[in-house]
Amino acid sequence: MKITEITPHYLLDMNDEGVLPWSSGLLLVSATTSDGTTGYGEAITTFRAATVYEAIKRTAKFYIGRELDAPQLLLSEIKKQDYYYFQSFESASAASSIDIALWDIMGKQFGAPVSALIGGTRRKEVELYANGWYSGCISPEQYAERARDVIRRGYSAIKLDPFGDAFDTITDEQLASSVAVLEAIRNAVGDRVKILVEHHGRFSLRAAVNVARAIAHIAPYFVEEPVHQSSLELLRRYREATRGLVSVAVGERICSLDESIDFLSDHLVDFIQPDVCNIGGISEAIEVCRIAEANGVVPTLHNAHGPVQNAATLQVDAAMDNFTIQESFYEFMSGWKRKLIQGAMRIEHGRMVIPSGPGLGININERLLDELKVPCEDKIPDAPIIWAVRGTVPVRNAKH
């Protein structure tokens, strides 16, 4: 069974801005083998869609004509040939998307879900924490009311970034505003609901420590990327200064198994958050989870993009031993993204049922894929902070 074709597909609904300014589009990849089997993967782009698109086309050349015996072997070949793979987000995202598509094919060939091929299916559903739910919220009252709505849907955990446009430093006013939002949410949802606090890797050490001390009474389930991730020493010092105050999660920007070892071996984090779309696909994500378990760290995969990423993430969740909770934008992502999957994912009482069909367990609506396909161009979103949930950061100094 040889790989005969690998094609990137950039999708965009011109009438839908999306919850996240940097992910209004979607970059999928299809892979086909000599027997006609097709599998799908997904790539992370941020605002580098065009460069990742081209990276997929270049990376595909390493795969075409090769036997599909094991996706892991092919990924190893890419790492050997792509000299700067470990320094390139584009290379990592391209290889990850192809790896996911090849696992989808493998599962279809064997008539089994991917989870059964990477260690065995350990669970049929997963607890979710909702993300993307707070679009348009500015005041503590707005956050509180929206949080109540999410909990009424059955979720037991929610994540948010309450820090507005603070970056590197945080003023007393910004910190007070952020604490007010978190206190309002805690009062609205009660003590049993898990609140996870996203920092987006934006703070200096001093600012991040001040934040941790100010929000500790909220009892966050974890704080995510509290300091700039360019320095492990910065995270180590943060860890020392906040031990006993907060639990730490990091990992969505890690682009290889090797890189994850730095966070795991020195016990710098309590939770590790690899993303199947840039860690090295399903092949590397499950390995990170196993190494994390050996180091007493809990994996909880990053999952903020599209429906194929979501399906691949669930297959890894099903196969890992020490699963706890899974990030989900699914109910809050653009409707057209959900419609790409025929037979939508089921969320019941804040838990998502893991597809049990062959491969990723999903079927792509190829008619809709063709309708939404557009030329892949980089467009910088018109937003105060492009990685913030839309409408949560006031527009300052607007032109009149």
Q: Are 327 and 124 in contact (CB under 8 A)?
A: no
Q: Are 252 and 84 in contact (CB under 8 A)?
A: no
Rounded Cα gap, residues 303 and 252, in angstroms: 9
- Among the listed residues 156, 166, 131, the one whose alpha carbon sits nearest the alpha carbon of residue 23: 131
Catalytic member of 200, 217, 228, 400: 200
217 is catalytic: no
Catalytic member of 302, 305, 349, 400: 302
Residue with tokens 């057209």: 336
Rounded Cα gap, residues 346 and 199, in angstroms: 29
Would you give the end-to-end CA distance of the chain in angstroms?
61
Q: What is the DSSP string of 261-325?
A: HHHHHTT--SEE---TTTTTHHHHHHHHHHHHHHTT-EE-----S-HHHHHHHHHHHHH-SS---
Q: Which residues lie below 8 Å from residue 217, measured CB to CB, with a gap of 6+?
A: none
200 is catalytic: yes
Residues with catalytic roles: 200, 302
